[in-house]
Amino acid sequence: MEGYLILSDGTIYQGISFGAETDQITEGEVVFNTGLTGFQELLTDPSYCGQIVTLTYPLVGNYGINTVDNESDRIQVKALVVRGAAHKPNHWQLAMSLPEFLKSQHIIGLEGIDTRALTRKIRNHGTMNGVICTGFRSEEELQVLVNKARETQGWEGQDLTALVSTSTPYVIHYSSVHGQIEDPFLEADLVESITPEYMESLDKLTSQGIYRVVVIDYGVKRNILRNLFALGCEVVVVPKHFSATEILQFKPSGILLSNGPGDPKDVVGAQETVQELIQQGIPLLGICLGHQILALALGGDTVKLKFGHRGGNHPVKNPEENKVYITSQNHGYVVVKDSLEPETFEIIAVNANDGTIEGFKHKTLPIMSIQYHPEGNPGPDDTGYHFGEFFQAMHKYYSEQI
């Protein structure tokens, strides 16, 4: 069946639809990702909420979809655009094909598109809104869709984190055999809702020297939670709207501000909550959107990039070590470099392509923040050490409390 992607500048791309069989017209911000693999993680990453994603790699889906690599409980992208989709994948973990995965969740896919030309357009003209549809359209109908794409307001000014954050808090319980558990989300008794009995046990767990991390869920990827669990931490995930008082009732040893979609300035109440948490002296770690929110709470500023950083192959340089790491990234906004006072903050990472800030540390408080995804492992494990640094900060904080 025919399918079309229409950009707000009037450009029309015709291809072949797969996935959802629907006449529904889907709107979204059109972005590109340069990763060679990881399409399942990308599709289920809440940071892509509201976006039509095109992949620059020409063949997508050749190892199919498995049951363990989802970053959330559903597909988050609005639609997927590729040069070619693999309809007969092969892999020992294979559960279904990419087209079957999209179809099962009513997401439109479009193949046969010149994704190189589409990517060049976005790079040259910047990210733009678009609409995608299935089924043949006449010239008159296409012109109507062009007008619709031009009138699309996109997601500017909306708090997208409200669409992807958990509605209620939950806990991933500490386990003494955590090193033998590959994925806590596959263990039914490890991930549970918060109960009164659990709240009564907080002091007991802390007295045993177990570090409890509270994750503010702006659209957290499961692999972040898996990494914290692998460190031997108890992980409490709370909704993005939780106040500082509600977060502190869990008596955290550390607080992580997660990734998520949209403009950090649109996340209602986030800056005020984080400012209150900073005053507590508890170790804080910001990742991606959480990094941007943390910078805003500390007096910095953020700005939207022309076409963003999305992919598993972005070089980041550590100025102090004079080393370059390959990182996984997915963001459209960055912290403005001159907005952070050099007397207070140390820049620990910059993008080797465009020089934008990729990470900073507070010089006197236990605060670290990174723009890239240390759990993404594209290198395959280049920047995973940040979780170890966070663990050491919690250890120091805990030692000072007893």
**DSSP codes, 245-262:** HHHHTT--SEEEE---SS
| Among 12, 31, 21, 50, residue whose Cα is nearest residue 149 | 12
Helix (H, G, I), strand (E, B) or coil at 226: helix
Q: Are 237 and 73 contacting, i.e. CB atoms less than 8 angstroms apart? A: no
Any alpha helices (H) in 21-160, and if so which ranges?
39-43, 98-104, 115-125, 139-151
Torsion of CA 169, 286, 288, 387, to 10 degrees: -90
- Looking at 291, 309, 314, 373, which residue is catalytic? 373
Phi, psi of 317 (to 5 degrees): -105, 135
Which residue among 29, 71, 358, 375 is the active-site one?
375
Query: What CA–CA distance (Å, rounded) separates 299 from 196?
Result: 37
What phi and psi, each to the nearest 5 degrees, are found at residue 290?
Answer: -60, -35
Residue 346 and residue 321: Cα distance in Å, rounded? 13
Tell me, yes or no, if 49 is annotated catalytic: no
C-alpha closest to that of 392 among 256, 248, 247, 211 = 211
Cα(3)–Cα(381) distance, rounded to whole angstroms? 39
Question: Is residue 169 reached through a cis peptide bond, with omega within 30 degrees of 0 on the bond before it?
Answer: no
375 is catalytic: yes
Taking Cα atoms as reference points, which of 286, 175, 163, 293 lies closest to residue 226? Answer: 175
The encoded tokens of residue 39 equal: 């399409």
Cα within 13 Å of Cα(197), Cβ side: 2
Q: Provide the token pair at 188.
A: 């039914």
d(CA 230, CA 337): 33
Question: Kind of pairing, strands 12-19 and 26-33?
Answer: unpaired
As a whole number of Å, the end-to-end CA separation of the chain is: 66
Per the structure block, which two tokens stand in for 388?
């170890």
Choose, from 173, 241, 288, 358, the residue flagged as catalytic.
Answer: 288
| Whether the Cβ atoms of residue 358 and residue 370 lie closer than 8 Å to each other | yes
Q: Which residues are catalytic?
A: 288, 373, 375
